[in-house]
Amino acid sequence: MRMKTFAAALAGATLVAAAPAYAVTEIHWWHSNTGRNAELINKFVDEFNASQSNYKVVPVYKGGYAESMSAAIAAYRAKNQPDIVQVFEVGTATMMAAKGAVVPVYKVMHDAGEKFNPKAYLPAVASYYTDQRGRMISLPFNSSTTVLFYNKDMFRKAGLDPNKPPRTWEELGADAAKIKASGAACAFTTSWQSWVQLESTSAWHNVPFATLDNGFGGMGARLEFNNPTMVKHIAFLGQMAKDGRFTYVGRSSAPDSKFYAEKDSCAMITESSASYGKTKKNAKFDFGISELPYHEGVKGAPQNTIIGGASLWVFSGKPKSHYKGIAEFFTFLSSPKIQAEWHQVTGYVPITVAAYELTKKEGYYEKNPGTDIAVTQLLLKHPTKASKGLRLGNMVQIRNINNEELEAVWTGKKTAKQALDEAVKRGNEELRKFERANR
Amino acid sequence: MASQKRAQYPVSWLPYALVAPQLAITIIFFFWPASQAIWQSLLVQDVFGAHVQFVGLLNFRELFADPYYLGSFWVTGEFAVLVTGSALIVSLVLAACCDYLIRGTRAYKMLLVWPYAVAPALAAVLWAFIFSPGVGILTYVLRQWFGYDWNYLLNGGQAVTLVVIASAWKQISYNFLFFLSGMQAIPKSLIEAAAIDGSGPLRRFATIVFPLLAPTTFFLMVVNVVYSFFDSFGVIDTTTQGGPVRATNLLVYKVFEDGFKGGDLGGSAAQSVVLMVIVISLTVIQFRYIERRIQYA
């Protein structure tokens, strides 16, 4: 209580210090961006704040995704929530289940009378954050997808054509063997193994990750990525790990740096398209970006990959004036100019078709080949029930389980079938727990 | 009786007032959170607290039906034994050497105490950097000089070694201080008498110093076990995140992951209650034993 009074006093003091002639509504936005991305966010916010005089958006860095989500939830329970919080895609089901705590974006826009067309957003991006009735619940902000980065210099050294990256996993396997034979320490690795090799690869082959349309159809969904297509894929990677063509170097984004490392770097990596910025900054060699490989002969493949990243959620319980400001800010953030800049600097995909067209018109893709791969891969086909995203609770735990089970395959402790069966079984227990807690 | 009390304290409320701050701290920071954990362990709720259901012991039944959770017990036990054992042995040797020294003791003491000031997470980053499969100096030395392939991200045994070293390293300083002061409290006359009788430094250590240090050793054992049960999650989070597979998935790390990252409040609370019970019982057992040892000594 004391803390709150103090904070209020402090906020009051800041307002007095700023001495506005009118009441400015402050909109607090908790986010998880650092470095270049955070600078860009501050720049956007400054632009928005300068463009009008009714609202002042205050961006606050609240730690990594998991931390800032926990902090926002705790703040909500203490009735002290921010207006906007950036939540990673695996937190989507949790936020959606929180009826009453969150105001859906379509409602924020509608109530504020803001012009809003969900069709303006890339379908594979919007679908992840849209409910079964086609209403957008949170605003897509930073979205990326799974792509292949490859080192052209190492391709040349291995006698491969640097302008012909592998299209299929079979080609990738063969290329990896040649790269390995040319004396490279690491031919291939992957970041985000659960997201890239299970979640996105399922969508890419148009096989469901879970029942009930990957969980979009309700909380009773069961995982089913232990299907023959995925077992074959993981067994393929397991074989590559066994004979040294695939070097496992860790969970989440840790392997990214292994691609642009100065010594013993990996020739190929499947990772987030959003690591383009840091890769470009650090890589002292010629690299290319290509589509995520697929397995030949799988019906419907390639379909489209799914996104990762985060979206913006609006909390309930704020005065009406705040929502008007949030709506205006969201329109500003979705504008082609802002999105195009965000896309070009960070490597995240532009969330609207207009921003993609603008970037194309500016000639950015010609100057930076490969940077449009993520977008074309998302736009390849219209998302199906199996490829529009995931809506599964306790996804943080499920990814952890997948990490563990996949590591058991890479180390040869389990076969692909055993590991995926176990991952599905353990993951389903997590889904049942989530269903029970949110009933 | 009553008059005696009045003679000691001029006003009857004074003793209560004097202990009140300590009591308040204990209640607010220990008893209240502990009671909250027990209460939450009996509930199932979503993270926003919109649906809260009382489920009795369901969270506990699920935990003990989960073979992976039971596996974490072994991992934690192994970790605690390794950390406590290595931290105690190394610090005891260092303290004995320092005690034996005549000149330069202060400098050694200061250098040896430094690591204690390092936060667990920082200590872990430091060691993870040294042992990093990609850029670590020790990885390089092991591969170039000994032909040993080090990759703690894939090799469970190596991962355990890394987290044990990072955790024990920090604790060595603390143990060292206690051992050294314990040794210096041993009457010099005893040591000198033994020396006159012709026993060398090793024998004196084994027959006089070490037995007389027993209370210190047991105290440190309790502290180190509690440390390895509770304070180890910073080390795990910054290095292995519980992997590879589940080689370093300690009980306390799972509490953190399920609760703070996963939002499973009931399950996480149940796990912390289990941990609480383990540590309380360990402490009770060990303190009873210490009491006996003190009487014996």
Give chain B's radius of gyration (CA, Å).
24
Backbone angles phi, psi at A437, to 5 degrees: -70, -25
User: B46 vs chain A: nearest CA distance in angstroms?
Assistant: 5
The answer to whether the A10-143+307-367 and A146-306+386-437 domains have the same CATH topology is yes
Hey, of B143, B254, B261, which one would you mutate to test binding to chain A, going by the most A CBs within 10 A of its CB? B261
Contacts of A173 by beta carbon, 8 Å cutoff, 6+ apart: A236, A240, A245
User: Distance between CA atoms of B17 and A40, rounded to whole angstroms?
Assistant: 55
Closest chain B residue by Cα to residue A419: B245
In this predicted structure, which of A14-23, A261-270, A379-388, B97-106 has the lowest mean pLDDT?
A: A14-23
User: Distance between CA atoms of A125 and A136, rounded to whole angstroms?
Assistant: 11
Residues in chain A, total? 439
What's the average model confidence in pLDDT over B146-174? 87
Cβ–Cβ under 8 Å, residues A288 and A149: yes
CATH of residue B159: 1.10.3720.10
pTM (predicted TM-score): 0.85
C-alpha pair distances (Å), B62 with each of A138, A300, A334, A396, B56: 34, 40, 45, 19, 12
Contacts of A13-18 spanning 24+ positions with Cβ under 8 A:
none
Hey, where are the domains in chain A?
10-143+307-367, 146-306+386-437
Instruction: DSSP letter for A348, please.
Output: P
User: Distance between CA atoms of A61 and A39, rounded to whole angstroms?
Assistant: 11
Task: Return the percentage of chain A with pLDDT > 70, whole number.
Answer: 95
Contacts of B2 by beta carbon, 8 Å cutoff, 6+ apart: none
Instruction: DSSP letter for A160, please.
Output: -
Instruction: Name the residue with higher pLDDT: B206 or A312.
Output: A312
- CATH number of the domain at A10-143+307-367, out of 3.40.50.1100, 1.20.1440.230, 3.40.190.10, 1.10.2020.10? 3.40.190.10
Nearest of B249, B186, B40 to residue A397 by alpha carbon: B249
Chain B hits for A422, CB-CB cut-off 8 Å, are: none
Instruction: DSSP letter for B187, please.
Output: -
Report the pLDDT value the prediction gives residue B293, as an integer from 0 to 100: 58
Report the pLDDT value the prediction gives residue B2, as an integer from 0 to 100: 45
Query: Token pair of B144, please?
Result: 């170039």
Report the pLDDT value the prediction gives residue A326, as an integer from 0 to 100: 96
Report the pLDDT value the prediction gives residue A51, as an integer from 0 to 100: 95
User: Distance between CA atoms of B111 and B99, rounded to whole angstroms?
Assistant: 15
Amino acid symbol at A157:
K
Residue B92 belongs to domain spanning: 60-296
Cβ–Cβ under 8 Å, residues A223 and A375: no
Helical pair A353-361 and A336-346, crossing angle rounded to 10 deg? 70
Give the number of other CB atoms < 10 A from CB of residue A70: 20
* pLDDT tens per residue across span A78-113: 999 999 999 999 899 999 888 789 999 999 999 999
In this predicted structure, which of A106-120, A163-177, B151-165 has the lowest mean pLDDT?
A: B151-165
Residue B50 lies in a domain: no
In this predicted structure, which of A111-120, A138-147, B279-288 has the lowest mean pLDDT?
A: B279-288
Q: Which fold has domain A146-306+386-437?
A: D-Maltodextrin-Binding Protein; domain 2 (3.40.190)
Instruction: DSSP letter for A168, please.
Output: B
* H-helix or E-strand spanning residue A268: strand A266-272
* pLDDT tens per residue across span B193-225: 988 988 888 888 888 889 889 888 988 988 898
Report the pLDDT value the prediction gives residue A1, as an integer from 0 to 100: 39
User: Distance between CA atoms of A94 and B262, rounded to whole angstroms?
Assistant: 10
pLDDT averaged over every residue in chain A: 91
Closest chain B residue by Cα to residue A88: B261
Model ipTM value:
0.77
Q: Which of A251, A258, A438 sits opposite B241 (nearest CB)?
A: A251
User: B81 vs chain A: nearest CA distance in angstroms?
Assistant: 24
Task: Return the percentage of chain B with pLDDT > 90, whole number.
Answer: 30
Residue B288 confidence (pLDDT) above 90: no
Max Cα separation, chain A?
A: 72
Residue B4 lies in a domain: no
Report the pLDDT value the prediction gives residue B102, as an integer from 0 to 100: 67
* pLDDT tens per residue across span A375-390: 999 989 999 999 999 9
User: A91 vs chain B: nearest CA distance in angstroms?
Assistant: 9
Contacts of A77 by beta carbon, 8 Å cutoff, 6+ apart: B48, B49
Residue B25 lies in a domain: no
User: A374: burial class by Cβ within 10 Å (0-12, 13-18, 19+)?
Assistant: buried
The answer to whether the bond into B201 is cis (omega within 30° of 0) is: no
Residue B238 lies in a domain: yes
Residue B166 lies in a domain: yes
- B7 pLDDT tier (thresholds 50, 70, 90): low
Closest chain A residue by Cα to residue B243: A404
Residue A56 confidence (pLDDT) above 60: yes
User: Distance between CA atoms of A40 and A34, rounded to whole angstroms?
Assistant: 10
Cβ–Cβ under 8 Å, residues B183 and B196: no
What's the average model confidence in pLDDT over A310-329? 95
Residue B4 confidence (pLDDT) above 70: no
Highest mean pLDDT among A56-60, A369-373, B129-133, B157-161: A56-60
Residue A317 confidence (pLDDT) above 60: yes
Cβ–Cβ under 8 Å, residues A192 and A248: no
Q: Considering Cα of A402, then A403, then A404, then A408, what sign does the dihedral take?
A: positive
Domain count, chain B: 1
Cβ–Cβ under 8 Å, residues A416 and A75: no
Tell me which residue has tokens 């190492």. A154
User: Distance between CA atoms of A423 and A392, rounded to whole angstroms?
Assistant: 15
Residue B211 lies in a domain: yes
Cβ–Cβ under 8 Å, residues A177 and A244: no
What's the average model confidence in pLDDT over A26-30? 96
Hey, of A186, A262, A400, which one would you mutate to test binding to chain B, going by the most B CBs within 10 A of its CB? A400
Contacts of A317 by beta carbon, 8 Å cutoff, 6+ apart: A76, A79, A81
